[in-house]
Structure 1
């Protein structure tokens, strides 16, 4: 379970590094593939993109 949590936080770090704030993180928006071990964050409908000047 800890390994999955670490993957989720790593994925969120990549999203935040791209200046995107998801705004709706919940269990239904986190997809974990048991076979590959990959984590995906979905549903960016409420997300905000910050543009640097």
Structure 2
């Protein structure tokens, strides 16, 4: 089984992705990531809305 670091680190530029799995306590986890090359991409801000 790969760790998140191994899976994402195997790609030179993963861009964006969704990681789903379980933590050490057996709880489900979900994460979204995005990488930016340009200044505009690096300045993106995520805002939580609603129930999410």
Shorter-chain TM-score category? under 0.3
TM superposition score normalised by structure 2: 0.26
Q: Which of structures 1 and 2 has the larger relative contact order (alpha carbons within 8 angstroms, sep 6+)?
A: 1
Question: 1 or 2, which has the higher helix percentage?
Answer: 1
TM superposition score normalised by structure 1: 0.26
Which structure has the larger Rg? 2
